[in-house]
Structure 1
Amino acid sequence: MTTGKTPAKPSTIYDVATAAGVSHQTVTRFLRGYKGIRPETQARVEHAIAELGYRPNLTARSLKSGRSHRIGALTHELSQVGPSRIAEGAAAAAREAGYVLDLVSLDMRNPHAVEESLALLTQQDLAGILALGSTDEMSRAFTSTRFRVPTFIDVESDDEPDPYRNRLSNASMPSLVDHLVEWGHRRIALIAGPDNWSASRNRTRAFHAALARHGLEAEAVVQGDWSARSGHAAVAEADGIGAATAVVAANDQTALGAMLALKESGRRVPEDVSVVGIDDIPEARYYDPPLTTVHNPFELQGRAALHRLLALIDPDHAIDLDVPLPQLMVRRSSGPAPEPR
């Protein structure tokens, strides 16, 4: 069935320029992320783009410039909060910069995963590749791969200062341990993440260092795997967290399982045992009780990584995002240490 109406013609960069009262060169600079545009001018361009529903024609731009506007992104473990939200941030930044992000989640049980994924991606003309790594297997695969286009490898290194990633461990653990010590806790246990994740190792080292600053040693360290199931098992085991009056979980899902196991054993949170986590997932404030945790700006990490890749693709792209330090979110799962019995 036809209505007889002519479909609306898509808006062009010139329509945006007219609506914003600027030149089309200014709109082009805005779309490329140029930082020298006055705030009031930027606001007018943003408003015009939203009003007109303007979408860059990537095919036309690629033909005219001779450069692709597609980026390949390699990641894995998208079931985990951190990797999925980092990828979301990177995808959003790519769209805003006029690029399309083709996301490929790797199966690291397959030793040829990176090679096969690159073969799939390179069937298209790519401007660059964003390699988002979390595990030792990912790091080894990325560093042994020869990438033929500009590539930014975003992998957390063990104890290496980095402006975008390691700050989570180096800021979150001290803030959590300091918070618990201020409440009078001296017997503090850790439910760690998996050994093959550098982030897990960094968090464990930062935990021990934070305790040492207070002259304390860990009551117990139990190995987990980021899951609520492993947090539950760590507490349910007979000698799991020992006589700890506080538990630091390597992430919020682990904390959820730990709190359920404590409740099942008849121990109250936080009256008998305080529990804290890391990441501040959206559900954390709705745990029972709401979880004290550290907010990690995952999306900004993804955006920062994408812009660092764009700077490799185009040296004129000079956006350097300031990723804030993780922030302690105090809620009702932590409280004063119980009186000794």
Structure 2
Amino acid sequence: MTAPIADQSAEQLPRPTRLSEVKGWFFTADQLLFDWFLARQRDRSEPGDLLELGAYMGKSAIFLGARRRAGERFTVCDLFDSPAEDVSNSREMRKSYATLTRRAFEANYLAFHEELPTIVQGLSSIVSDHVDEGSVRFAHIDASHLYEHVHGDILAVRELLTGSGVVVMDDYRAEHCPGVAAATWQAVANEGLRPICITGTKFYGTWGDPEPLQEALLEWIGARGDIWHEVQYVNGAPLVRLSAKGAEEPAHPVSRYRSTGARGAQRAAAQAPGASAARPGPRPPFPSRGALRRVALDVLPPVLTRAVMNARKRARTR
């Protein structure tokens, strides 16, 4: 399922020159947290693969793919162009993701990476057929907004995560998708999911022990100094809440098309065969101030011309 769809050539698709040009919502606080969790796992040599349920145009997938270590597998599961199997999900797809296509995702991803991730095109409920149990260290759930589907995604990811794996829930508090909030907090209350931290858009949790992660996270936040945070308690358990407005974003993957902006296009045009014939000639010299005065006197009405001449004579005799 990893082969690109070839019904539209790459030349016809947009070529993002930076991550910010890829459509989607992936704010600074969450970029920083994705980077921090993945870097901590790397530094501690924690094993496991990466997983994303729901990819839209690939913004967070591109970011995740840049943090994949050698030998690891990154799986992306999304319906893309496929029809949903139920009326409610089909209605949501038409309303929220009418322009979503697999080839657009692939074009965006390949602008930043040499090869595609493992793509599972279909409902997120089938992801367990393609990802081994206990093999995932970091999972991002951003697929359906309907309670039944999100609840199923959470239960599936619980089986796929390693013992210390981290799951991220998107839109856990957005007013337009209360089903995500219901499924997220139900998992906390009834399914053993333990909160680590929250941002304005995403919930971070684990079925392992959250305390070491929270302690290390608070130490990192304190050392940075540009991230606002507080610690609240939910049913007696600590929960870190943070915001990163104005904070510096982590390193972004670099696009292969980064030099095709306006300046790059000008350079390419200048270097193209036959470009010298199209180059403009040297600019004519700009007229001197005296020449401009003479032209003005020639075109002004006689009354104004005499007034100007008299004023100049008075100025010279002073």
Q: TM-score range by the shorter chain?
A: 0.3 to 0.5
User: Could you state the TM-score of these two structures normalised by the residue count of structure 2?
Assistant: 0.32
Q: Work out which of the two has the higher radius of gyration on C-alpha atoms and give 1 or 2.
A: 2
User: Could you state the TM-score of these two structures normalised by the residue count of structure 1?
Assistant: 0.30
